[in-house]
Amino acid sequence: MNDPIATNPDLYHLLFENDRVRVLEYLDQPGDATRPHSHPDSVMVTLSTFQRRLQSGDHEVDVELPAFQARWLDAQEHAGTNIGSTPTHTIFVELKEPSQSGSARDRLGPADS
């Protein structure tokens, strides 16, 4: 697993961790990009409205999310770029229990529900 704190230490910060969850804060500026990293199954809470381009292999998706939303994020590996005009500010609550699917799903980015 490519830990986002190791691959992008200037953008991800550890807020809390115990044996069941890890909570990360992510904050970037327009034009900032991340190196490839992995997330386990997580809940993502948006603290700002933002636009991002996510890439994983040859799959790419543009995501626009409003502030103050909670979204499910299937386990996945990706890199991202802030393609908007506002900072991206999010909180990730990463689950430490094994994914119910057993592996990353095909979905890239957050789910609507």
Asked whether residue 111 is assigned to any structural domain, the reply reads no
Half-sphere exposure (Cβ direction) of 76: Cα atoms closer than 13 Å: 21
If one counts the domains in the chain, the total is 1
Asked whether residue 108 is assigned to any structural domain, the reply reads no
Please state the pTM of the whole predicted model.
0.86
Token pair, residue 13, equals: 């910060």
Predicted confidence band of residue 98 (pLDDT cuts 50, 70, 90): confident
Asked whether residue 81 is assigned to any structural domain, the reply reads yes
Asked whether residue 103 is assigned to any structural domain, the reply reads no
DSSP three-state, residue 41: coil
- Residue 79's domain is classified under what CATH number? 2.60.120.10
Asked whether residue 72 is assigned to any structural domain, the reply reads yes
pLDDT digits (tens, 9 = 90+) for 29-73: 999 999 999 999 999 999 999 999 999 999 999 999 999 999 999
Asked whether residue 53 is assigned to any structural domain, the reply reads yes
Note the pLDDT of residue 110: 75
Asked whether residue 18 is assigned to any structural domain, the reply reads yes
Full residue range of the structural domain in which residue 32 is found:
4-95
